[in-house]
Amino acid sequence: MFMSISYKGLFEVLNKKNISISEMSKDLKISSATQAKFRKGEYVSLQILESICKYLTVNINDVVSFITIDNPSALYERLKEEMSHKIKGGIYHETQILLTYNSNHIEGSQLSSDQTRYIFETNTIGLAKGNSINVDDIIETQNHFRCIDYMIKSALEPLSEALIKDLHKILKTGTSDAKLDWFNVGDYKLRPNTVGGLETTKPINVQNELVSLIGKYEIKQAYTFEDIIEFHYQFECIHPFQDGNGRVGRLIAFKECLRHGFVPFTIDENIKIFYYRGLKEWRNEKEYLLDTCLSGQDTYKRLLDIFNISYE
């Protein structure tokens, strides 16, 4: 199923209280861009909705509602079918290339989009004369293709330690990192690491914190897009593996979007800086990361439009 958002209740409450949306926005310092989202039915952060509810003295259910479209995820079914039958030129084919290129590229891979496509389509690599490519870039590209297959096969399963570790093992197997005993491919880090210069969870605490995070996430009765992004942020703060955390985290987010009926997102070079800023600023301002991921949704929606796959 896919979900859309309606703010019909908000406008009804404003009308009853004889308050204009402009007046409310001025009082709460809500930007004009966010005001437009109310009219277009686009995602607005829970933090803003809570401030509106307090301002209007109403409950959140009075101002926003989620409309469920009865569709057993046309995207998931199409991806699964095309993967199973090795269909070329479809949404599965293009998803493999788009996700793998973008996720690897923002982590430093020197492979171009065309080279990524060439590896997927021919299982070979073409290089211009005089050029060289890091072998790990090629291995991790092939491994990422396999991660996506695994992610699609397990898309509807609950999150678990085993599933997350499997993604890491598939991604890093055969790389030069895997030759290092302490790197611990497919298992938690043994040495402290940082992300963006910030300290992450100490190795001794990783398992307890990740198990706790999964437990709090899986106990939910219903899920919002913000829940998925919150999990992604918390996962990156833990940074459970020695390397590959960003790619594993984004694969998990894609899986959870499929599982809960949201359009998945991809982070490309154009929004990379906003993505990292969003992760860094999440505790203070959630809209940075949410808006970036929604922009990444728009990129993926263009693929859905090409293949006439409904999402709203």
In a shared domain, residues 217 and 296: yes
In a shared domain, residues 19 and 164: no
26 within domain boundaries: yes
In a shared domain, residues 130 and 145: yes
Q: Report DSSP state, residue 133.
A: -
Q: Is the pLDDT of residue 69 over 70?
A: no
In a shared domain, residues 183 and 236: yes
Among the candidates 13, 43, 69, a domain finishes at: 69
Residue 129, pLDDT score: 64
Q: Is the pLDDT of residue 218 over 90?
A: yes
Residue 177, pLDDT score: 95
Residue 66, pLDDT score: 63
Name which residue leads in pLDDT, 193 or 73: 193
In a shared domain, residues 44 and 106: no
Give the domain range for residue 51: 2-69
In a shared domain, residues 97 and 242: yes
CATH number of the domain at 81, please. Answer: 1.10.3290.10
CATH number of the domain at 34, please. Answer: 1.10.260.40
Per residue in 219-235, pLDDT tens?
988 889 999 999 999 99
Q: For the chain, report the end-to-end CA distance as a whole number of angstroms.
A: 10
In a shared domain, residues 102 and 215: yes
In a shared domain, residues 130 and 47: no
312 within domain boundaries: no
Provide the greatest CA pair distance for the chain: 71
In a shared domain, residues 175 and 300: yes
Query: Measured between alpha carbons, how far is residue 255 from residues 29, 239, 264 in Å?
Result: 35, 18, 8
Among the candidates 69, 97, 115, a domain finishes at: 69
Parallel, antiparallel, or unpaired: how do β-strands 194-195 and 198-199 relate? antiparallel
Question: In a 10 Å sphere around its CB, with 0-12 CB exposed, 13-18 middle and 19+ buried, how is residue 179 labelled?
Answer: exposed
Residue 72, pLDDT score: 47
In a shared domain, residues 202 and 278: yes
193 within domain boundaries: yes
311 within domain boundaries: no
Per residue in 239-274, pLDDT tens?
999 999 999 999 999 999 999 989 999 999 999 999
62 within domain boundaries: yes
205 within domain boundaries: yes
Question: 50, 43, 25, 46: which is closest to 262 by C-alpha?
Answer: 43
Which residues, in sequence order, are CB contacts of 177 under 8 Å at separation 6+?
Answer: 136, 183, 185, 242, 243
HSE-CB for 189 with a 13 A CA cutoff: 19
In a shared domain, residues 65 and 86: no
Cβ–Cβ < 8 Å for 244, 171: yes
Radius of gyration of the chain (CA): 21
What predicted TM-score, i.e. pTM, was given to this entire model? 0.79
**69: enclosing H helix or E strand:** strand 65-69
Q: Give the three-class secondary structure for 4.
A: strand
Alpha helices in the chain, H assignment, sequence order: 8-16, 21-28, 32-40, 46-56, 74-84, 91-105, 113-122, 135-153, 161-172, 206-218, 225-238, 245-260, 272-281, 287-306
Query: In total, how many domains does the chain have?
Result: 2
- Apex 22 CA angle, 298 and 32, nearest 5: 30
In a shared domain, residues 178 and 141: yes
Among the candidates 69, 89, 120, a domain finishes at: 69
